[in-house]
């Protein structure tokens, strides 16, 4: 696929043609015997010019494009590609412990993006004559190899060579040897007698052989042939460069003389560049997308963006509506559907698996059980034995399919296939697993809570974890997954009333509500939040111990604006709400401040928890979920006031 920019396309082909002509001529320059057609070429004013041009045009057309599920059309790789990094050590080969892995977890980002030393991908490919490129599903392996083909055409390798891209899935569907497949690539571009020509390029080391997706060779016989031929080509033609890609979990082979490396997840700056490249024709939309990703509420979405496939899906979702869906559960469903089913089917890959009789729903159910148990235990990382035990229990309780043999399914094999095919569970260190993204662990935990076999799940969630910030995202996802969320949000609201058992906290809220004046443009709940935030800021000016409460108030005000409408000038809105210019209003504020100062220290903690739980309630209301209008109205009117009893089934007056 060409870029559409005539000057860019023409320049790329011209550069590639010049390089390839030079390589092609040098391959035959010292030959004692030449085929007649080669001898005639040397007599021409522009030997190999036509063939080199055709070959470059074919590379541009075939490999300068990327299209995944959901994209209306392919996009040029040259315009969107972000330079990738390579891990210096394969993740699954690391030796570590659960305790050490927990310490390495980036808790500030709440993700599994463990810090690891990396190298520039192109430099590694340039330096290493034999390379195995490993990566997760959707991790960018194919795009990286296509980029290497284009980079060779652009002259970015130290030694100029002709790239040959071999999709091993396409090769395995035929009967050719790999060398015959290469011959055909040159024949299509107009080379006469390609067999001898390709052999000469191999002998002189003037080829970069890019073998893509060994894991997609599904036929055992063809896989055996592929392994044998790769080793034979490597041994017979030591001067050529060979780069082979494969999914990390599907790779259990030994290629002598090859160096194994793994593609690293995108770092923050790579995500930014990808987004800007994606929206290159609409830079304002690209910057808006990045600003939305930076919001705290979109932390789980940001967590997914480390994987190129999922980052592409996030860009598609944002492009459609100029914002990310308020019901993130639906967005994650789409992402997981891509990994569990659509990604292989879109590439026409059919795999023989140990659990192929499992439906998509059963796979999701099994992953939900694994996620819920580990998350409930506060575990992000799991020993391989523990995961296999969960798989074994789940599989043993399923009715065997007619095609399944009497032999038990090996849970270790199932685990490896989940990792290789879907990349949802990954081996972070030797025999230590986690979900590929914390977002997926949280989503599957919420799914386990809301499944039909667990009718008390939402109520139990509120009872056990309503005050635990680690479960915040699970609460939000549960709201989005429920067919009707009235009872769930009412229980959260009742949790606020339970926090307000003390007279002191009720009085603080009552005093705060009395400070608010009617302002037509600002909804009443937001006015109360602005008043409380102003009072707490006054407290912090006197004592820094109120810093955490100030932060909680600011987060609440920010989230309430998403639910009730954005206020352009918060300071001005606060002045209007409190009428600070009036002596009476200033006196009331001072009295509210003094009242809190005079309360016991535990009241400050109760106020902090109350504000944080109110924010969770607002977040759940902000989900595009089914909550009846009357329930929503009752809860909204009750925010930051506790004058009346409140519980599940009660009506706020």
Q: Are 533 and 553 in contact (CB under 8 A)?
A: yes
What average pLDDT score do residues 111-124 get? 72
Query: Would you tell me how many other CB atoms lie within 10 Å of the CB of residue 449?
Result: 23
pLDDT at 335 over 60: yes
Does residue 204 belong to any structural domain of this protein?
yes
What average pLDDT score do residues 295-314 get? 89
487/449 Cα distance (integer angstroms): 14
Q: Looking at the structure, do residues 515 and 446 belong to the same domain, yes or no?
A: no
Q: Where are the beta strands (DSSP E) in 395-456?
A: 425-429, 432-435
Does residue 76 belong to any structural domain of this protein?
no
Does residue 649 belong to any structural domain of this protein?
no
> What separation, in Å, do the N-terminal and C-terminal C-alpha atoms of the chain show?
64
Does residue 497 belong to any structural domain of this protein?
yes
pLDDT of amino acid 22: 78
Q: Looking at the structure, do residues 539 and 609 belong to the same domain, yes or no?
A: yes
Q: Looking at the structure, do residues 216 and 333 belong to the same domain, yes or no?
A: no
pLDDT at 17 over 90: no
Percentage, residues of the chain above pLDDT 70: 86
Q: Looking at the structure, do residues 534 and 451 belong to the same domain, yes or no?
A: no
Q: Looking at the structure, do residues 439 and 315 belong to the same domain, yes or no?
A: no
Query: Would you tell me how many other CB atoms lie within 10 Å of the CB of residue 55?
Result: 26
Range of the domain at 99: 6-63+83-109+116-263
Q: CA geometry: angle at 122 spanning 119 and 124, to 5°?
A: 55
Report residue 1's pLDDT band, with 50, 70 and 90 as the boundaries: very low
277/279 Cα distance (integer angstroms): 5
pLDDT of amino acid 565: 79
Report residue 168's pLDDT band, with 50, 70 and 90 as the boundaries: very high
Task: Please state which of the ranges 101-115, 307-321, 545-559 shows the lowest mean pLDDT.
Answer: 101-115
pLDDT of amino acid 260: 92
* Predicted TM-score (pTM) of this structure: 0.83
pLDDT at 483 over 50: yes
Total structural domains in the chain?
4
Indicate the average pLDDT of the chain: 85
pLDDT of amino acid 66: 83
| SS3 at position 628 | coil
505/549 Cα distance (integer angstroms): 14
Does residue 14 belong to any structural domain of this protein?
yes
Q: Are 298 and 436 in contact (CB under 8 A)?
A: no
Report residue 214's pLDDT band, with 50, 70 and 90 as the boundaries: very high
Q: Looking at the structure, do residues 532 and 424 belong to the same domain, yes or no?
A: no
Does residue 567 belong to any structural domain of this protein?
yes
Q: Looking at the structure, do residues 331 and 373 belong to the same domain, yes or no?
A: no
pLDDT of amino acid 129: 95
What dihedral do alpha carbons 22, 28, 29, 35 form, nearest 10°? -130
| Tens of pLDDT, residues 373-399 | 999 999 999 999 999 999 999 988 886
pLDDT of amino acid 135: 92
Report residue 580's pLDDT band, with 50, 70 and 90 as the boundaries: confident
| SS3 at position 2 | coil
Q: Looking at the structure, do residues 254 and 303 belong to the same domain, yes or no?
A: no
Q: Looking at the structure, do residues 425 and 321 belong to the same domain, yes or no?
A: no
Report residue 118's pLDDT band, with 50, 70 and 90 as the boundaries: confident
Report residue 41's pLDDT band, with 50, 70 and 90 as the boundaries: low
Q: Where are the beta strands (DSSP E) in 410-451?
A: 425-429, 432-435
The residue from 263, 294, 314 where one domain ends is 263
Query: Would you tell me how many other CB atoms lie within 10 Å of the CB of residue 144?
Result: 25
| Tens of pLDDT, residues 64-104 | 888 776 677 778 888 888 888 888 777 777 777 877 777 76
pLDDT of amino acid 38: 55
User: Could you tell me the strand order of the sheet in which 85-87 lies?
Assistant: 118-120, 85-87, 259-263, 130-135, 241-247, 207-212, 162-167
Task: Please state which of the ranges 354-363, 613-622, 623-632 shows the lowest mean pLDDT.
Answer: 354-363
Q: Looking at the structure, do residues 255 and 308 belong to the same domain, yes or no?
A: no
Does residue 632 belong to any structural domain of this protein?
yes
CATH number of the domain at 42, please. Answer: 3.40.50.300
Does residue 176 belong to any structural domain of this protein?
yes
What average pLDDT score do residues 398-419 get? 72
The residue from 483, 503, 520 where one domain ends is 483
Q: Looking at the structure, do residues 478 and 525 belong to the same domain, yes or no?
A: no
Q: Looking at the structure, do residues 437 and 542 belong to the same domain, yes or no?
A: no
The residue from 218, 240, 263 where one domain ends is 263
pLDDT at 40 over 70: no
């Amino acid at each position: 696929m060409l870029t559409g920019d005539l000057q860019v396309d023409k320049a790329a082909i011209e550069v590639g043609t010049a390089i390839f002509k030079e390589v092609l001529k040098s391959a035959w320059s010292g030959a004692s015997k030449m085929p007649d057609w080669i001898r005639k070429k040397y007599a021409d004013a522009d030997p190999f010019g036509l063939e080199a041009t055709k070959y470059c045009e074919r590379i541009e057309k075939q490999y300068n494009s990327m299209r995944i599920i959901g994209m209306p059309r392919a996009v040029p790789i040259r315009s969107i590609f972000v330079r990738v990094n390579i891990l210096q050590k394969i993740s699954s080969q690391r030796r570590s412990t659960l305790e050490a892995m927990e310490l390495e977890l980036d808790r500030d980002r709440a993700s599994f993006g463990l810090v690891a030393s990396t190298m520039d991908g192109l430099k590694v490919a340039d330096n290493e004559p034999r390379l195995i490129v490993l990566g997760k599903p959707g991790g960018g392996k194919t795009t990286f190899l296509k980029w290497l083909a284009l980079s060779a055409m652009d002259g970015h390798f130290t030694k100029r060579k002709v790239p040959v891209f071999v999709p091993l899935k396409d090769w395995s569907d035929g009967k050719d040897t790999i060398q015959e497949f290469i011959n055909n690539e040159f024949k299509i571009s107009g080379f006469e007698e390609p067999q001898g020509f390709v052999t000469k390029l191999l002998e002189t080391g003037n080829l970069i052989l890019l073998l893509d997706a060994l894991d997609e060779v599904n036929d055992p016989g063809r896989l055996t042939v592929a392994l044998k031929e790769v080793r034979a080509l490597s041994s017979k033609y030591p001067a050529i460069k060979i780069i082979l890609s494969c999914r990390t979990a599907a790779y259990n082979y030994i290629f002598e003389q090859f160096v194994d490396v793994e593609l690293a997840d995108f770092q923050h700056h790579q995500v930014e560049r990808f987004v800007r490249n994606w929206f290159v024709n609409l830079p304002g939309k690209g910057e808006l997308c990045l600003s939305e990703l930076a919001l705290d509420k979109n932390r789980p979405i940001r967590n997914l963006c480390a994987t190129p496939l999922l980052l592409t899906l996030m860009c598609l979702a944002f492009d459609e509506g100029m914002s990310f869906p308020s019901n993130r559960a639906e967005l994650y469903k789409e992402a997981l559907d891509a990994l569990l089913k659509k990604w292989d089917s879109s590439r026409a890959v059919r795999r023989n698996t140990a659990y192929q009789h499992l439906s998509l729903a059963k796979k999701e159910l099994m992953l939900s059980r694994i996620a819920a148990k580990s998350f409930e235990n506060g575990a992000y990382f799991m020993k391989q034995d523990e995961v296999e035990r969960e798989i074994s229990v789940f599989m043993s309780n399923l009715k065997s399919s007619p095609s399944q043999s009497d032999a038990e399914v090996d849970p270790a094999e199932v685990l490896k296939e989940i990792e290789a095919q879907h990349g949802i569970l990954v081996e972070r260190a030797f025999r230590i697993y986690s979900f590929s993204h914390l977002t997926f662990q949280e989503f599957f935990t919420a799914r386990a809570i809301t499944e039909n076999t667990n009718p008390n799940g939402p109520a139990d969630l509120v009872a056990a974890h309503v005050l635990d910030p680690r479960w915040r995202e699970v609460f939000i996802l549960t709201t989005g997954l429920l067919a009707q969320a009235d009872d769930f949000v009412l229980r959260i609201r009742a949790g606020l009333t339970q926090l307000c058992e003390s007279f002191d906290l009720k009085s603080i809220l009552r005093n705060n509500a009395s400070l608010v004046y009617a302002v037509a443009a600002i909804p009443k709940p937001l006015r109360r939040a602005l008043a409380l935030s102003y009072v707490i800021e006054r407290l912090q000016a006197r004592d820094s111990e109120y810093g955490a409460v100030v932060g909680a108030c600011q987060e609440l005000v920010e989230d309430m604006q998403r639910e009730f409408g954005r206020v352009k000038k918060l300071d001005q809105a606060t002045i209007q709400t409190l009428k600070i210019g009036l002596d009476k209003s200033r006196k009331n504020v001072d009295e509210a401040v003094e009242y809190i100062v005079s309360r016991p220290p535990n009241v400050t903690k109760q106020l902090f928890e109350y504000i944080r739980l109110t924010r969770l309630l607002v977040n759940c209301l902000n989900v595009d979920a089914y909550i009846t209008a009357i329930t929503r109205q009752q809860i909204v009117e009750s925010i930051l006031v506790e004058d009346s009893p409140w519980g599940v089934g009660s009506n706020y007056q």
